[in-house]
């Protein structure tokens, strides 16, 4: 008579252990994904930081160079500003179709990638 109760108690203990391990696995997986995402965001942020400075100084030097060629620094900087405005308009017009969809796909792939060994989509 005690045997079925002991088996149920044993199964219940196994179930508790299983649930605890599953929660721990989910926690570790979430932590790993968060760490990977943070690392990618920080490295991407560093790249953006240096790219901004590159374009800032490239724009300044181009403005001075055009200004020297045209005889007026104001016109040289105006042409560089017009070029940046043209790029901004193109980005705004193409934002939804190309940029947002591509970035969404990249973030979804980063978040739901199985593991580091899975290189099938790269």
**49, 51, 53, 59, 90 from 63: Cα distances, Å:** 21, 18, 15, 6, 21
Residue 48 CB partners (closer than 8 Å, separation 6+) = none
Domain ranges in the chain?
A: 2-111
Alpha-carbon Rg for the chain in angstroms: 28
Percentage of the chain lying above the pLDDT 70 cut: 92
Per-residue model confidence as pLDDT tens digits over 60-78: 999 999 999 999 999 999 9
Helices 101-111 and 2-70 cross at an angle (nearest 10°) of 140
Total Cβ atoms within 10 A of residue 73:
13
Per-residue model confidence as pLDDT tens digits over 14-46: 999 999 999 999 999 888 888 888 888 899 899
pTM for the whole structure:
0.59
Identify the CA nearest to 112 among candidates 42, 44, 33: 33
d(CA 37, CA 107): 9
């Amino acid at each position: 008579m005690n045997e079925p109760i002991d088996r149920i108690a044993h199964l219940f203990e196994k179930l508790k252990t299983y649930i605890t391990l599953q929660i721990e696995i989910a926690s570790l997986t979430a932590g790993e994904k968060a760490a990977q995402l943070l690392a990618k965001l920080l490295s991407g942020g560093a790249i953006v930081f240096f790219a901004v400075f590159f374009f800032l100084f490239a724009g300044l030097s181009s403005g001075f160079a055009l200004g020297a060629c045209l005889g007026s620094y104001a016109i040289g900087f105006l042409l560089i500003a017009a070029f940046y405005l043209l790029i901004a308009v193109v980005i705004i017009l193409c934002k939804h179709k190309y940029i947002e969809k591509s970035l969404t796909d990249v973030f979804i792939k980063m978040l739901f990638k199985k593991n580091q060994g899975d290189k099938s989509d790269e």
